């Protein structure tokens, strides 16, 4: 396939546009995944570990958020950050920072729900064990997270997958500015709209390669966890 060769060429030749898009895709998704995990995992832990009033309502709500189309999040954030919007003064529209915010919001429900699911079946037993051995709340929570670590890692990997494959919000919030906010996905969308299917496919190959590499790293982390 000539797209394959084209992909190889783009990478090897150090094509500035391609490498810039790769860099933007990676740093936006990885940041979003990191921040999403830092916020989402503890929330998921709290929800999964306890029973409280309105838990089922909250759970259904969070599951619904999983189905929110990315363009909707993109639109809402766009309206907030446009000059005349609520947060317009922050000057974040058409910057990678706003893309990170958008992606983080998109993957947050996923992180919360998947972490809660991973933690929930273990919570009662583990927390009883830790409490009976005199552990405080923090240590107990941390231990529960540790016991559920495979599920939690899966949540993080899933979050990364959604972040790096995202187009709608990235397009709206970043403006697809060449060399600045153009990601692999928005590049593919652009080239496809120009009828440059070959180039689009080549970029798609590269994106898959990158996603594969990152997932390989995650996978080996999971395997290590299994044997510890």
Partner 1 sequence: MLRLATTTSVEHSGLLPYLLPEFEKKNGIKVHVIAVGTGKALKMGENGDVDALLVHAPDAERVFMSKGFGEKREEIMFNHFLIAGPDRDPGGIKKCKSAAQAMKRLADGLAAVISRGDDSGTHKKEQALWKSAGIKPQGEWYLEVGRGMGPALLMASEKGAYVLCDKGTFLSMKKRLELSICFEGGDSLLNVYSIISVNPKRHPRIRHGLARKIVQWMVSKEAQRSIGAFTVEGGTLFRPLRIQGKVK
Partner 2 sequence: MTKPAFQVEGVRKRHGDDFDLSIDELFIERGTVCSILGDNGAGKTTLLKILAGLTLPDQGEIRFHGRPMLPGGAGLSTRRRMVFLSQRPRLLRGTVLRNVLFGLSARGICGTAAIKLAEEALDDVGMASYSNRKANALSGGEAQRVALARALCLDVDALLLDEPTSHVDEDFTQGFEACLKKLQDDRGTTILIATHDSDLADRLAQQKVYLARGRLIQVLPTPEERRARMAGEPSA
Question: Which residues form the interface with partner 2 (CB under 8 A)?
Answer: 125-126, 128-137, 139, 143, 146-147, 149, 228
The answer for residues whose C-beta is within 8 angstroms of residue 131's C-beta and 6 or more apart is 140
State in angstroms the smallest separation of the CB of 42 from partner 2: 18
- Residue 175 touches partner 1, criterion: CB under 8 A: yes
Task: Tell me whether residue 83 or residue 226 sits nearer to partner 1 (CB atom).
Answer: 83
Structure tokens given for 88? 């317009």
194-203 — which CB contacts under 8 Å span 24+ positions?
198/2, 198/3, 198/6, 199/3, 199/6, 201/1, 201/3, 201/6, 201/7, 202/3, 202/4, 202/6, 202/7, 202/10, 203/7, 203/10, 203/18, 203/21
Place of tokens 């190959």: 205
Report which of 181, 178, 146 is spatially closest to residue 166, judged by C-alpha positions: 181
Residue 187, classified by CB atoms within 10 Å of its CB into exposed (0-12), middle (13-18) or buried (19+), is buried
**Stretch of 78-86, 99-107, 124-132, 207-215 contacting partner 1, by CB under 8 A:** 78-86
**Stretch of 26-34, 79-87, 127-135, 136-144 contacting partner 1, by CB under 8 A:** 79-87
Contact partner, 147, from partner 2, partner 1, none, Cβ < 5-8 Å per class? partner 2
Task: Tell me whether residue 89 or residue 134 sits nearer to partner 2 (CB atom).
Answer: 134
Contact partner, 223, from partner 1, partner 2, none, Cβ < 5-8 Å per class? none
Task: Tell me whether residue 54 or residue 195 sits nearer to partner 1 (CB atom).
Answer: 195
x-marked contacts with partner 1 along 90-119 as a string, rule CB under 8 A: -x-xx-------------------------
Contact partner, 50, from partner 2, partner 1, none, Cβ < 5-8 Å per class? none
Among 2, 54, 57, 83, binds partner 1 (CB under 8 A): 83
Encode 1-15: b = buried (16+ Cβ within 10 Å), e = exposed: eebeebbeebbeeee
Among 84, 132, 224, 227, binds partner 1 (CB under 8 A): 84
Place of tokens 């009976």: 132
Residues near partner 1 (CB under 8 A) are 82-84, 91, 93-94, 175-180, 193-195
């Amino acid at each position: 396939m000539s797209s394959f060769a084209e992909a190889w060429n783009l990478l090897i030749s150090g094509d500035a546009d391609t490498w810039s898009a790769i860099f933007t895709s990676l740093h936006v998704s990885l940041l979003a995944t990191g921040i999403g995990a830092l916020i989402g995992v503890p929330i998921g832990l709290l929800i999964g570990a306890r029973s409280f009033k309105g838990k089922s309502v909250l759970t259904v709500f969070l599951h619904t958020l999983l189905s929110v189309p990315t363009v909707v999040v993109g639109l809402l954030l766009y309206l907030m950050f446009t000059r005349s919007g609520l947060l317009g003064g922050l000057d974040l529209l058409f910057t990678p920072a706003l893309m990170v915010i958008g992606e983080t919001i998109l993957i947050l429900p996923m992180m919360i729900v998947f972490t809660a699911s991973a933690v929930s079946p273990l919570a009662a037993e583990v927390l009883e064990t830790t409490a009976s051995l005199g552990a405080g709340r923090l240590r107990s929570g941390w231990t529960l997270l540790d016991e559920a670590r495979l599920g939690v890692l899966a949540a993080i990997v899933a979050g990364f997958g959604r972040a790096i494959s995202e187009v709608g919000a990235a397009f709206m919030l970043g403006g697809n500015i060449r060399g600045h906010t153009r990601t692999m996905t928005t590049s593919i969308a652009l080239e496809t709209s120009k009828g440059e299917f070959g180039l689009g496919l080549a970029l798609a190959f590269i994106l898959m390669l990158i996603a594969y590499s990152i997932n390989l790293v995650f996978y080996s982390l999971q395997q290590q966890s299994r044997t510890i």
